[in-house]
A = this chain, B = another copy of it.
């Protein structure tokens, strides 16, 4: 059951798709409420056993206890343990313990979740005075998630090709750079489905333009890549460059489609293109206009996009930079001391992504003037919604790949996310493992982290271990920043190992895609903490580094450097499958309980649940892309003691009109079918 409580006069965020009648606020269970002038505080007393799940894209573990999380979308590339905000705002959490319930705080401004940080046993949620609060009671954790997901509507389904291996780097500048990457993969017989275009493909970072010197025949190049079965995925940034005769700018100014400052002038920020205006995507007309701009690229053959810098990131605003420079210039003539030094540092440091700027931006929410700070977390959502809504008109029959950096719950209906500018840190490999189930709870299913890490120099072993996890994320993209060590797998020494691991992804893809689509259609989770599937198993509740992937398997990735293996907990007897290539594998039943498992650097390990099966593609050395995967003639990997059945979802991977049950083959396998092995036709 879902209970709604309305405080003040909440802004309609479009996060939810169901209309729930509000209850009396005083009747809210679980929480003690304190209503202040500007905010409402909800307090819940935990006991030692209470676990808190959720909050989507955030730092820390699967169990969110012991830290404070601030929903206020931030462009901050240094994801250390103490960061309170990342790029998204996903205000859904589940308390599991003596009481078990879900909480969704539908407020698009700043919301704080102190989960036993200040006080070890206290949850303190602080939100704006105008908030929609939902409490969800359910039979179990999965039921609570399912009810919430019905409330917020069906998740975005990516096209099937986007389950192939994808390569990206901020630094590919021209056609030849991309040809070189594709050649690098093909020459080494490593499959590849997409190459990303980061900001350098544009003419002077202008959205919806292509630099004609670097890409003299963009449409021709797109087609050339299509013949190689490689999709090109361009980036779209939030800021529209201020430049005379640039049509998007001219049109936006003329129609009044940009965000304003307090005086009603178009707000001037600076990001990659230099000075920009932000499209007011919270206004339905402006949103429709901005979304329509994607058409020019789609008509040239583009079928995937990533929306970036849409927190929105602001390097500086024109106004505040001028003020800062003025202040520094005046200080020059005074006696400079240590205080002046720190002051200058602060002035410069405070210019980017500043609250002052966010408070100086205004939206026209279909007639209502709203300060950006109050709806900050809706920007990335609505930029991506602009694209998603437009795609329904531009390409009504086709799924287009779309994911975003910033997001709010609701955006999951229009696209996925990637987890932003992580680093080539082992701790970020673990973080990405822990983020996945939290994101899934919030409806974000098409997602993944930058494999190998975006910032800093990756090492060969970190990249390999990351691929061994990333091969399970729907978005499997290797991405890195300009200036860091080159990260394409064929640039390292153990190319054959990388090739074999990436080929295993394609062997698994019938299962991964089937599970993904079922989760979308059934409002289920693709990645689950162990406790969601084994609620009676006490130890499962403490496991922070293993995940259930779909219904049939558990994974336990290695995420520490120089490790030769790791400890794994099995909540039931399972079949351990170790693979060094699609062809080279061993299977061994392992009993419920604790085990140390050796895992070579080039080895993938999965654990198949008892009486479960999963479909595997039959692939050969010629496999180049998803186009070579035959979803109809699959093999079945299984650990069948009695019998197993599997609902195998298949569609053409491209049509938008997927239906809920039609495409599901129910496959049954009995023990005798597996005589002498674990993989059968």
- A residues sitting closer than 8 Å to B (CB atoms) are 51, 60-61, 63, 65-67, 78, 80-82, 116-121, 270-272, 274-275, 315-316, 318, 321-322, 325-326, 328-329, 331-332, 336-338, 341, 344-345, 348, 351, 423-427, 455-457, 459-462, 485, 492-494, 542, 544, 560-565, 567, 569, 594-596
In the complex the two chains form, what is the Cα distance from A118 to B484 in whole Å? Answer: 12
Q: Would you call A427 and B427 a contact (CB within 8 A)?
A: yes
15 residue pairs from A and B, CB less than 8 Å apart: A61-B562, A66-B459, A66-B561, A67-B561, A120-B461, A120-B494, A121-B493, A272-B338, A318-B336, A321-B341, A329-B332, A542-B565, A544-B563, A567-B567, A567-B596
By a CB distance below 8 angstroms, the chain B residues around A459 are 66-67, 116-117, 120
Q: CB < 8 Å: which of B332, B564, B569 contacts A542? A: B564
By a CB distance below 8 angstroms, the chain B residues around A275 are 337
**The 10 A-B residue pairs with the shortest CB-CB distance in the complex, in nearest-first order:** A81-B425, A329-B329, A82-B456, A567-B567, A325-B332, A120-B460, A329-B332, A594-B596, A63-B562, A66-B561
Q: CB < 8 Å: which of B81, B318, B321, B336 contacts A322? A: B336
Contacts A63-B562, A542-B562 known; 13 new A-B pairs at CB < 8 A: A60-B561, A61-B560, A66-B459, A80-B423, A81-B425, A82-B455, A120-B493, A271-B338, A274-B338, A315-B341, A325-B328, A326-B332, A542-B563
In the complex the two chains form, what is the Cα distance from A328 to B331 in whole Å? Answer: 11
In the complex the two chains form, what is the Cα distance from A595 to B594 in whole Å? Answer: 8
By a CB distance below 8 angstroms, the chain B residues around A121 are 493
Q: Would you call A338 and B270 a contact (CB within 8 A)?
A: yes
Q: Nearest B residue to A122 by beta-carbon distance?
A: B493
A119 and B596 contact, Cβ closer than 8 Å, known pairs A66-B461, A325-B331? no
Q: Nearest B residue to A593 by beta-carbon distance?
A: B596
By a CB distance below 8 angstroms, the chain B residues around A562 are 51, 61, 63, 65-66, 542, 544
By a CB distance below 8 angstroms, the chain B residues around A78 are 78, 80
By a CB distance below 8 angstroms, the chain B residues around A494 are 120
Q: Would you call A344 and B348 a contact (CB within 8 A)?
A: yes
Minimum CB–CB distance for A46 against chain B, Å? 11
By a CB distance below 8 angstroms, the chain B residues around A322 are 336
In the complex the two chains form, what is the Cα distance from A485 to B338 in whole Å? Answer: 25
Minimum CB–CB distance for A113 against chain B, Å? 14
By a CB distance below 8 angstroms, the chain B residues around A274 are 337-338
By a CB distance below 8 angstroms, the chain B residues around A493 are 119-121
By a CB distance below 8 angstroms, the chain B residues around A561 are 60-61, 63, 65-67
In the complex the two chains form, what is the Cα distance from A450 to B462 in whole Å? Answer: 29
Q: Would you call A81 and B321 a contact (CB within 8 A)?
A: no
Q: CB < 8 Å: which of B329, B338, B423 contacts A81? A: B423
In the complex the two chains form, what is the Cα distance from A423 to B457 in whole Å? Answer: 23
By a CB distance below 8 angstroms, the chain B residues around A485 are 118
A81 and B345 contact, Cβ closer than 8 Å, known pairs A116-B459, A321-B336, A563-B542? no
In the complex the two chains form, what is the Cα distance from A332 to B321 in whole Å? Answer: 10
In the complex the two chains form, what is the Cα distance from A308 to B348 in whole Å? Answer: 28
By a CB distance below 8 angstroms, the chain B residues around A116 are 459
Q: Nearest B residue to A563 by beta-carbon distance?
A: B542
In the complex the two chains form, what is the Cα distance from A63 to B562 in whole Å? Answer: 7
Minimum CB–CB distance for A540 against chain B, Å? 12
By a CB distance below 8 angstroms, the chain B residues around A318 are 336
Minimum CB–CB distance for A60 against chain B, Å? 7
In the complex the two chains form, what is the Cα distance from A634 to B531 in whole Å? Answer: 47
Q: Would you call A425 and B67 a contact (CB within 8 A)?
A: no
In the complex the two chains form, what is the Cα distance from A338 to B459 in whole Å? Answer: 32
In the complex the two chains form, what is the Cα distance from A85 to B565 in whole Å? Answer: 29
By a CB distance below 8 angstroms, the chain B residues around A542 are 562-565
Q: Nearest B residue to A594 by beta-carbon distance?
A: B596
In the complex the two chains form, what is the Cα distance from A326 to B328 in whole Å? Answer: 10
Q: Nearest B residue to A62 by beta-carbon distance?
A: B562
Minimum CB–CB distance for A363 against chain B, Å? 24
Q: Which of A325, A462, A494, A567: most chain B CB closer than 10 A?
A: A325
By a CB distance below 8 angstroms, the chain B residues around A120 are 459-461, 492-494
Minimum CB–CB distance for A185 against chain B, Å? 21
Minimum CB–CB distance for A395 against chain B, Å? 34
Q: Would you call A82 and B425 a contact (CB within 8 A)?
A: yes
Q: Would you call B82 and A423 a contact (CB within 8 A)?
A: yes
In the complex the two chains form, what is the Cα distance from A504 to B471 in whole Å? Answer: 47
Q: CB < 8 Å: which of B65, B338, B348, B565 contacts A315? A: B338
Minimum CB–CB distance for A317 against chain B, Å? 11
By a CB distance below 8 angstroms, the chain B residues around A560 are 61, 544
Q: Nearest B residue to A347 by beta-carbon distance?
A: B348
Minimum CB–CB distance for A349 against chain B, Å? 8
In the complex the two chains form, what is the Cα distance from A82 to B485 in whole Å? Answer: 13
Minimum CB–CB distance for A602 against chain B, Å? 11
By a CB distance below 8 angstroms, the chain B residues around A316 are 341
Q: Nearest B residue to A63 by beta-carbon distance?
A: B562
In the complex the two chains form, what is the Cα distance from A426 to B427 in whole Å? Answer: 11
Minimum CB–CB distance for A148 against chain B, Å? 23
Q: Nearest B residue to A325 by beta-carbon distance?
A: B332
Q: Nearest B residue to A456 by beta-carbon distance?
A: B82
Minimum CB–CB distance for A596 against chain B, Å? 5
Minimum CB–CB distance for A59 against chain B, Å? 10
A325 and B321 contact, Cβ closer than 8 Å, known pairs A78-B80, A562-B544? no
